Amino acid sequence: MLSFDPLSYPYPSRRNLVYAAHGMAASSHPLATEAGLRILRSGGNAVDAALAVAAALTVLDPANCGPGGDCFAIVQQRGAKLFGLNSSGFSPALFDKEAVTARGYDAVPFDGWLPVTVPGAPAAWCALNRRFGSLPLTEVFAPAVELSEGYALSPDNADILNLNSAEIAGLTPQHPELDEWFSLFNPERKRFRAGELYALPDLGRTLQEIARTGGESFYRGALADEMSRYSAASGGLLRQEDLAAYEPRWVAPIHTRYRGCDVWELPPNGQGLTALMALNILERFQYTGRDDPRTLHLQMEALKLAFSDALHEIADPAYMRRTIGELLSRDYAAERSHLISPSAQIYAPGRPQGSDTVYFCTADSDGNMVSMIQSLYRNFGSRVVVPGTGICLQDRGACFSMQDGHVNMAAPRKYPYHTIIPGFLTKDSAPVGPFGIMGGYMQPQAHVQFLMNMLDFGLNPQAALDAPRFCWQQGLEVYMESAFSDETVAALRERGHEIRIVDDRTYGRGQAIFRTSDGTLCGATEPRADGCVLGY
């Protein structure tokens, strides 16, 4: 057989926009996209298709999402407003700052039981199915269940499995509860290759159980009992009472106007507000070119300003000190924009007056569109696996602060600052379509860059996803993909930015589906991963 590196692409590769007349799905894995298209072709609507993609991705990309994680969605119905669903979980009743320090930590760790919050994804799937679905969840999840019986590993996910196998093996002496991870994801403790068959039958059975019971088993039945029992036996804080108390929250999406379009995000505890604050600042400037060092400098500074406020103010809405209206005020954006100088700066939070992952989207012929994102946070989340269930639990609690008085301070039954954000674009009150780009704190930064690529510089959605990205890290430190020119990087360094060049497959897994003026659909997908958009 031929031998080659499935992760090496030394020459530029081009993707074209995909057009379709009736329905479309876009995700970070071809088989997940195919699952969504299969449901559309069988008579399902855009929500049914999104749920098929969601379930399939738990099998195909288990490092980034699963029933043990969270989920956010924006749903647009034909002739109706946008509906938002925040299905992030809260911390267990036994969790607080003292519970963390009692185990010798000064910050909530990423691994083990401490960062585990109540999973919200299954509740989201069931709530969306009940409110908008046209097919039973058992039918919608059927493609995912079939995939759980065996599929060929993608290059990205074979690599992720190998990296995590090595890392978790080194953690098990301090975290013996992580050893169960191998029973589910790598029972032979082998090195995986792209293209080899891989199966997750326990996860398939759990997806069937969630679909059959409408989520009841997960929160108040057999699966809840198993999670609670294992948590109590292995040092966890999660209990059956925490699971039984959980319900997802329907919320009104928030928006700002940018270059004649309305950009929609979900309100806190998610960080979508960060992108909107940055856009408010950036709209006050004019730009001469997408790759102009001045343009990139202004983008970096606006995002740093937005993050300085977001990381100080965004939290569980019940704990926030500032309103969304205050943070999105045009007067406040003007005040903050005046702080930007020709040189890179570090910003303090202002005082406004008066906050790893998979993203996917779908659309159908009736005018329905879905923007949806789900996550375990870091690769495989907490790495805690509940034996026999296929459930790997998220580590979203690591986003809590341990600082006394901070709005996001660790506390019982509290929602942490959350990074996953679905986006949606409208113009003149008509839907343009869903978009999103995953990647932790990269997400609002990627939203801003993607939108400006289209609205300021006239790129089509695929070119807007293809374009090189940067990611502010902390202080003056910014990571930039190597596709930026040496001259651009040098000019930014002269302005004081501390630039580090990273591989071009580093930042984001984005998707977008937009409705054209002809009433057809136009889709774009991520070149940095296994992205795929299909329509019919």
**Across the chain, which distance is largest between two alpha carbons, in Å?**
68
Contact 525, 15 (CB under 8 A): yes
At 109, the pLDDT band (50, 70, 90 cuts) reads: very high
Percent of the chain past pLDDT 90, that is, above it, reads 88
Annotated catalytic residue 357: yes
Give residue-wise pLDDT tens across range 77-96: 987 789 999 999 999 999 99
Backbone angles phi, psi at 32, to 5 degrees: -70, -40
Contact 425, 262 (CB under 8 A): yes
At 350, the pLDDT band (50, 70, 90 cuts) reads: low
Give residue-wise pLDDT tens across range 162-221: 999 999 999 988 889 899 999 999 999 999 999 999 999 999 999 999 999 999 999 999
Q: How confident is the model over 233-247, as a mean pLDDT?
A: 97
Contact 442, 517 (CB under 8 A): no
Q: Residue 528: what pLDDT?
A: 87
The CA-to-CA distance between both ends of the chain, in Å, stands at 35
Contact 492, 297 (CB under 8 A): yes
Q: How confident is the model over 345-354, as a mean pLDDT?
A: 68
Tokens of 41: 């072709």
- Return d(Cα 298, Cα 278) in angstroms, integer: 10
- Return d(Cα 130, Cα 48) in angstroms, integer: 10
Query: Does 3 score more than 70 pLDDT?
Result: no
Q: Which residues pair with 100 in a beta bridge?
A: none
Q: Residue 354: what pLDDT?
A: 41
Q: If you ran DSSP here, which 8-state letter would residue 318 be given? A: G
Per-residue b or e along 207-224, where b marks 16 or more CB atoms closer than 10 Å to that residue's CB: bbbbbebbbbbbbbbebb
Query: Does 506 score more than 70 pLDDT?
Result: no
Q: What is the mean pLDDT of the chain?
A: 94
Q: How confident is the model over 323-352, as a mean pLDDT?
A: 90
At 353, the pLDDT band (50, 70, 90 cuts) reads: very low
- Return d(Cα 238, Cα 56) in angstroms, integer: 26
Q: Report which residue type is found at 472.
A: W
Query: Does 161 score more than 80 pLDDT?
Result: yes
Q: Residue 349: what pLDDT?
A: 76
256, 274, 295, 357: the catalytic one is: 357
Burial class (CB in 10 A: 0-12, 13-18, 19+), 257: middle
Query: Does 8 score more than 80 pLDDT?
Result: no
Q: Which of 148, 153, 151, 150 is nearest to 204 (CA)?
A: 148
Which residues does 214 contact at the CB level (< 8 Å), separation at least 6?
126, 129, 130, 137
The neighbour count for residue 90, using CB atoms within 10 Å, is 22
Q: Residue 355: what pLDDT?
A: 32
Q: Residue 93: what pLDDT?
A: 98
Contact 346, 476 (CB under 8 A): yes
Q: How confident is the model over 362-384, as a mean pLDDT?
A: 96
The neighbour count for residue 79, using CB atoms within 10 Å, is 7
The neighbour count for residue 471, using CB atoms within 10 Å, is 24
Q: Residue 301: what pLDDT?
A: 97
The neighbour count for residue 38, using CB atoms within 10 Å, is 17
Name the strand (E) or helix (H) holding 124. helix 121-132
Q: Which of 246, 235, 232 is nearest to 114 (CA)?
A: 235
Q: Residue 2: what pLDDT?
A: 64
Give residue-wise pLDDT tens across range 270-321: 999 999 999 999 999 999 899 999 999 999 999 999 999 999 999 999 999 9
**How far does CA 107 lie from the centroid of its chain?**
23
Query: Does 267 score more than 90 pLDDT?
Result: yes
Query: Does 352 score more than 80 pLDDT?
Result: no
